[in-house]
Amino acid sequence: MAEPLSNSERYPLQYVLLQDLFELNKTVIALILCIAVTAVSTVWVTHQTRLLVAEKGELVFEKQALENEYVNLKLEETTLSDNTRIEAIATVKLGMSRVKPEQEVVILE
């Protein structure tokens, strides 16, 4: 049995508490560590989720801009490939005209 301490001796309270905590309550320490790891993991996952949601918003905005540009380019292509426009440029700017039947040459092999 342990000897009783006299009134003049001081109790080593910190030592007793640490000994009690680390030697007798290993399960409690393990649970506290698990709770701390879970808390940090939850914060990290929440942060990553918010980053991904923000990135998704930017990508959706970029996709809409690209779709608008695609529609504009298709409209421009349709406008530029119109036969009447091409014919007008050929006759006015390039001085071209339709081939007359007497100017046609047929090559047979």
Provide the whole-model pTM.
0.55
Domain contains 1: no
Residue with tokens 């292509």: 77
Domain contains 59: yes
pLDDT (0 to 100) of residue 7: 63
Number of structural domains found in the chain:
1
Distance CA 86, CA 92 (A): 10
pLDDT (0 to 100) of residue 6: 61
Domain contains 107: no
Domain contains 98: no
pLDDT (0 to 100) of residue 18: 82
Tell me the mean pLDDT per 10 residues along the chain, length 109.
62 83 82 97 99 98 98 94 88 88 88
Alpha helices in the chain (DSSP H): 13-19, 26-80, 83-92
**Domain around 33:** 13-92
pLDDT (0 to 100) of residue 8: 65
Domain contains 101: no
pLDDT (0 to 100) of residue 47: 99
